[in-house]
């Protein structure tokens, strides 16, 4: 088990039990107590817990602050801004890939009058573009992930063979220094990994609420994409990282 997986499991236990014991966690995960203490140190730095003698307790005050709801209308507005920025990067005649998700859906809504080819494994995006005369839409096919519009699996991978993508816009569910870019399922990772092989440029799109979060499956480190589109609320430490690694950061500030 990777450290990030173990730490996420510790979080789940803390949510339920409110406290954890170093010895018990060591036995549960079959690792040393030193390893568990390192995990607790990391989670304490995140503000998730407070270490105690022999264990830790949930930092409920910090969790409550972090859980304050973001207005759905406000967040949707931020995603719309990201869609506008992304649409300006797309040139006539290009072939682009739009990954599943509501942020990439906003990109689709901003290019309906363009003449481009759109490859996607998201049925909602394909449906959004169905009446766009100038757009050639290619849907990968594949297995539909339950309760979503995302297509994955062998058929999806096969559809990507032998084609070339100018720009791939990849929506993610988590952006974190330790875990990198993450999404909800390993099947999604397999599709995006194939997209990376056939794309000239990978552009990550993520609203600010995705930062300092980790989803289930790792897509790549934070240097995976040389361009990132997000909102002005992105934490400063990420702005610093992108600058130092020559990754272009585009925010919604100039559109407000």
Q: How far apart are CA 44 and CA 56, in angstroms?
A: 9
pTM: 0.73
Q: Mean pLDDT per 10-residue run, the chain (256 residues)? A: 79 83 93 93 86 88 53 78 95 98 96 98 97 97 93 97 97 94 95 98 96 93 96 90 95 62
Q: Where are the domains of the chain?
A: 3-66, 72-255
**Model pLDDT, residue 72:** 63
Residue labelled with tokens 């989803």:
215
**Model pLDDT, residue 255:** 47
Q: Which CATH class is domain 3-66?
A: mainly alpha
Tell me whether residue 213 is exposed, middle or buried, using C-beta atoms within 10 angstroms of its C-beta: 0 to 12, 13 to 18, 19 or more: middle
User: How is 73-124 classified by DSSP, letter by letter?
Assistant: HHHHHHHHHHHHHHHTTPPTT-EEEE-SSHHHHHHHHT-TTS--EEEESBHH
CATH for 72-255, among 1.20.1250.20, 1.10.357.10, 3.40.50.1360, 3.30.200.20?
Answer: 3.40.50.1360
């Amino acid at each position: 088990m990777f450290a990030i997986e173990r730490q996420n499991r510790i979080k789940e236990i803390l949510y339920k039990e409110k406290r954890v014991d170093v010895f018990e966690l060591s036995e549960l995960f079959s690792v040393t107590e030193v390893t568990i203490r390192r995990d607790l140190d990391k989670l304490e730095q995140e503000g998730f817990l407070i270490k105690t003698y022999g264990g830790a307790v949930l930092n409920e005050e910090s969790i409550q602050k972090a859980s304050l709801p973001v207005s759905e209308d406000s967040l949707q507005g931020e995603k719309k801004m990201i869609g506008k920025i992304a649409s300006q990067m797309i040139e006539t005649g290009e072939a682009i890939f739009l990954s599943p998700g509501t942020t990439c859906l906003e990109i689709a809504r901003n290019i309906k009058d363009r003449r481009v080819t759109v490859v996607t494994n998201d049925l909602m995006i394909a449906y959004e573009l169905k009446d766009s005369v100038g757009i050639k839409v290619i849907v990968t096919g594949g297995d539909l992930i339950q309760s979503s519009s995302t297509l994955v699996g062998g058929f999806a991978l096969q559809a990507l063979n032998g084609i070339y993508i100018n720009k791939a816009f990849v929506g993610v569910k988590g952006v974190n220094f330790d875990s990198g870019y993450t999404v909800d399922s390993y099947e999604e990772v397999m599709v995006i990994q194939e997209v990376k092989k056939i794309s000239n440029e990978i552009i990550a799109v993520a609203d600010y609420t995705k930062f300092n979060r980790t989803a289930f499956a790792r897509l790549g480190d934070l240097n995976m994409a040389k361009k990132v589109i997000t909102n002005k609320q992105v934490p400063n430490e990420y702005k610093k990282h992108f600058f130092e690694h020559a990754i272009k950061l585009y925010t919604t500030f100039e559109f407000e």
